[in-house]
Amino acid sequence: MREQRRVIAFVIVIAALSASVGAAAQSIGQFYRHDDSRYWWYESYDRSFEIAVPANPIYTVYKDLFGESSLEIPLREGGPYMRLSSFPGGRSALDRARSAVQTQWQHVLTDTRLTENRTIRTGTGLDAQFIVIQGRTAAGANGMVRAVFFNNGDRNVSLVWAGNAADYTGSVQNAWIEAVNSFSWLR
């Protein structure tokens, strides 16, 4: 009888933990299995969009501040990084976000220049704003920031890649291209 109570108590604790983990996961979004083992599908917490992101990152950082939800994913230890952010405010907020990305690294990059600024069509048929900023790091490397901005009425999503230009190759480049081309609005 005593052993049976322990088993019941253990099952109750596991069920409670599972429910709390499920609730926490719901607040930041959900990761789902992708057909390609190099990626996971990420669905936003409000189920408004999905995107393929690199599988098994070292860690992820989730932030929810001032109405912006973001997920940062390192592509390997020490960078480069991808950051996915969603925020309301329509096209005017999207334009401000694009300007913010253009100035965000001006304090650590010198001789910055905007090398791309155009509209692209993604693999899912969406038009998006695309920019690339490059400049010199303190270590003398060529730093690069790539950003794509998606709009759907009042909803906006930005996808930003930041790292040394020399890192934008191989699996890192493939992860960026997959993310940009897999993004889709769900509603």
pLDDT on residue 22:
41
pLDDT on residue 29:
83
- CB atoms inside a 10 Å sphere around CB 170: 8
Q: Are strands 155-164 and 81-88 parallel, antiparallel or unpaired?
A: antiparallel
pLDDT on residue 2:
62
Question: Rounded to whole angstroms, how far apart are CA atoms 101 and 107?
Answer: 12
pLDDT on residue 19:
42
Q: In order of start, what are the domains of the chain with their CATH numbers?
A: 57-185 (3.40.1000.10)
Q: Which two tokens stand for residue 95?
A: 């334009």
Nearest to 34 by CA among 53, 15, 21: 53
pLDDT on residue 35:
94
pLDDT on residue 1:
62
Low-confidence ranges of the chain (pLDDT < 50): 7, 9-27
Cα–Cα separations (whole angstroms), residue 5 to 9, 13, 17: 6, 12, 18
pLDDT on residue 9:
44
pLDDT on residue 104:
94
Q: Which residues contact 127 (CB under 8 A, 6 or more apart)?
A: 119, 120, 121
